């Protein structure tokens, strides 16, 4: 009986660490220009519609020349409120960019990080605006912005520090934001079709249909904060990394790729030939469609040493479907007991485990649920009288069994 193990951790007490934006893209780019100012105590900005899902880290405001600060980047004259709303006027996030030069300056805009990044959906319209009070002399530009991550819509304005509900032809590029593309979901994907080819040995090409015993899963980790991803091909135990033996014989070449770049529609894994003796290189593209991945790519090594063995290893038209984790919801506490509910996929075993510490963890089984022909729907109760903090996890184990 072969099992695929997925671990989902549920923590009763959590802390948020510092959030940093790395290589984040600005919503709007504006050329250097002498700006205008507004003294009507109003909120000014513009509409935008993301072309792909975005993770927003920071909101900011233009640091342009003004009457008292004559140079770009010399600092804001006043603290500046910047807000992000949905099309219904619901405030999704806001910051106050401090006066002066305390906030980081990136391409003529100063930014303040959000306490928690937020996700914007592709194809939905949002409004970004900044408040200008009657004493404001911080400048902005009009209708000269370009966006590579969204389509820009109408200008927006509103009297007071409020939702700018009035549309116009004038876009005010004072406010801005920093965001990254999100990319496909991280997780374990099960290969459903595709082909693998080993090429260029003296014995001809070796072709294999996927999935196979040595290539049945793909583990994908996507980090929008760093705009980087990793991808690993795994055997049917979901643990063993697929590898090939190079020539001359040495350490196996693992099919585990890092430093993948997250684009609007795909992940790109590319490394130029590395150091000898194998001068390994790879080039893979991963596109996302609903809960499935489409993977195509090639690993190459230097062919000069061994002409009788393959030196090019490729995947084509590989389709992999996300293995859905259990849905955990409805948390309740009754005295010294915790109760939570989860729904799991059919044909999976589930084990609920707990530990009172993560350093080091000592996971203990609380309850097990065997695979069903339909979705599993259960509630779990646990007492933790002597524990200040308790951690739970649900292990999802797929079984290729017939009983």
DSSP codes, 187-254: EEEEEEEEEEEEE-STT--EEEESS-SS--EEEEEEETTTTEEEEEEE-TTS-SBPEE--SS--S-EE
The reply to whether 158 falls in a domain is yes
396: tokens are 């999802």
Q: Which of 12-16, 185-189, 192-196, 334-338 has the lowest mean pLDDT?
A: 12-16
Other C-beta atoms closer than 10 Å to the C-beta of 33 total: 17
Whether 109 and 220 share a structural domain:
no
- The whole-number pLDDT of residue 399 equals 61
pTM: 0.67
The reply to whether 268 falls in a domain is yes
Q: Which of 150-164, 184-198, 253-267, 326-340 has the lowest mean pLDDT?
A: 326-340
> What is the tens place of the pLDDT at every residue in 300-332?
988 777 777 888 999 999 999 988 777 777 777
Q: Within the chain, what is the greatest distance between any pair of CA atoms? A: 80
Whether 106 and 29 share a structural domain:
yes
HEC readout, 329-352: EEEEEECCEEEEEEEECCCEEEEE
Contact by Cβ (8 Å): 174, 164: no
Q: Which of 54-63, 83-92, 308-317, 341-350 has the lowest mean pLDDT?
A: 341-350
The reply to whether 61 falls in a domain is yes
The reply to whether 142 falls in a domain is yes
The reply to whether 19 falls in a domain is no
The reply to whether 2 falls in a domain is no
What percent of the chain shows pLDDT beyond 70?
82
The reply to whether 377 falls in a domain is yes
Total domains, the chain: 3
Whether 167 and 218 share a structural domain:
no
CATH number, domain at 107? Answer: 2.60.120
> What is the tens place of the pLDDT at every residue in 23-62?
568 898 876 555 556 657 889 999 999 988 899 999 999 8
Report whether pLDDT(15) > 60: no
Domain finish residue from 297, 322, 347: 322
Whether 44 and 171 share a structural domain:
yes
The reply to whether 368 falls in a domain is yes
Whether 350 and 285 share a structural domain:
no
Whether 76 and 135 share a structural domain:
yes
- The whole-number pLDDT of residue 126 equals 98
275: tokens are 């150091």
Residue 188: exposure state from Cβ atoms within 10 A (0-12, 13-18, ≥19): buried
Estimate to the nearest angstrom the gap between the alpha carbon of 168 and the chain centroid. 34
Q: Which of 87-91, 113-117, 153-157, 274-278 has the lowest mean pLDDT?
A: 274-278
Identify the CA nearest to 126 among candidates 46, 36, 6: 46
> Judging by DSSP bridges, how do beta strands 256-262 and 253-254 pair with one another?
unpaired
Whether 161 and 240 share a structural domain:
no
Q: Which residue reads 């004259």 in tokens?
A: 77
Whether 210 and 318 share a structural domain:
yes
Whether 155 and 206 share a structural domain:
no
Whether 142 and 218 share a structural domain:
no
Whether 286 and 240 share a structural domain:
yes
Domain finish residue from 130, 145, 180: 180
Q: Which residue would you say has higher pLDDT here, 154 or 9?
A: 154
User: How far apart are alpha carbons 149 and 82 in whole angstroms?
Assistant: 19
| Alpha-carbon dihedral angle through residues 298, 299, 304, 308, given to the nearest 10 degrees | -80
Q: Which residue reads 């005295």 in tokens?
A: 335
Domain finish residue from 145, 180, 215: 180
How does residue 245 score in pLDDT terms, banded at 50, 70 and 90? confident
Enclosing domain of residue 388? 325-399
CATH number, domain at 222? Answer: 2.40.128
- The whole-number pLDDT of residue 25 equals 84
User: How far apart are alpha carbons 294 and 315 in whole angstroms?
Assistant: 10
CATH number, domain at 384? Answer: 2.60.40
Whether 114 and 147 share a structural domain:
yes
23: tokens are 């290589």
């Amino acid at each position: 009986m072969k099992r695929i193990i997925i671990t989902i951790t549920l923590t009763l007490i959590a802390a948020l660490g510092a959030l940093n934006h790395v290589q984040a893209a600005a919503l709007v780019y504006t050329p250097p220009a002498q700006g205008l100012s507004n003294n009507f105590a109003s909120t000014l900005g513009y509409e935008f519609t993301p072309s792909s899902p975005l993770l927003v880290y920071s909101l900011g405001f233009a640091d342009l020349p003004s009457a008292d600060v004559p140079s770009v980047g010399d600092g804001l004259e006043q603290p500046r409120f910047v807000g992000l709303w949905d099309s219904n006027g619901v405030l999704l996030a806001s910051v106050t960019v401090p006066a002066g030069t305390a906030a980081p300056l990136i391409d003529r805009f100063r930014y303040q990080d959000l306490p928690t990044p937020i996700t914007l959906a592709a194809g939905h319209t949002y409004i970004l605006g900044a408040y200008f009070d009657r004493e404001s002399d911080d400048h902005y530009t009009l209708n000269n912005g370009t966006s590579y991550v969204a389509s820009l819509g109408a200008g927006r304005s509103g009297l007071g520090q409020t939702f700018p509900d009035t549309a116009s032809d004038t876009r005010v590029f004072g406010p801005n934001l920093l965001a990254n593309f999100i990319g496909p979901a991280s997780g374990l994907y099960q290969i459903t079709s595709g082909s693998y080819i080993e090429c260029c040995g003296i014995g001809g090409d070796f072709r294999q249909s996927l999935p196979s015993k040595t290539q049945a899963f793909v583990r994908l980790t996507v980090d929008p904060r760093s705009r980087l991803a990793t991808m690993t091909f795994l055997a049917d135990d979901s643990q063993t990394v697929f590898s090939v033996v190079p020539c001359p014989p040495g350490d196996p070449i693992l099919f585990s790729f890092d430093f993948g770049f997250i684009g609007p529609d795909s992940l790109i894994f590319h490394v130029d030939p590395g150091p000898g003796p194998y001068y390994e290189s790879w080039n893979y593209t991963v596109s996302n469609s609903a809960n499935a991945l489409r993977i195509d790519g090639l690993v190459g090594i230097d062919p000069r040493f061994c002409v009788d063995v393959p030196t090019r290893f490729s995947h084509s038209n590989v389709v992999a479907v996300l293995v859905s984790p259990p849905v955990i919801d409805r948390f309740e506490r009754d005295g010294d007991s915790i109760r939570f509910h989860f729904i799991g996929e059919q044909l999976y075993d589930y084990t609920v485990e707990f530990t009172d510490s993560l350093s080091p963890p000592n996971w203990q089984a609380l309850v097990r649920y065997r695979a069903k022909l339909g979705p599993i729907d259960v509630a779990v109760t646990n007492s933790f009288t002597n524990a200040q903090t308790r951690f739970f996890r649900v292990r999802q184990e797929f079984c290729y069994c017939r009983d």
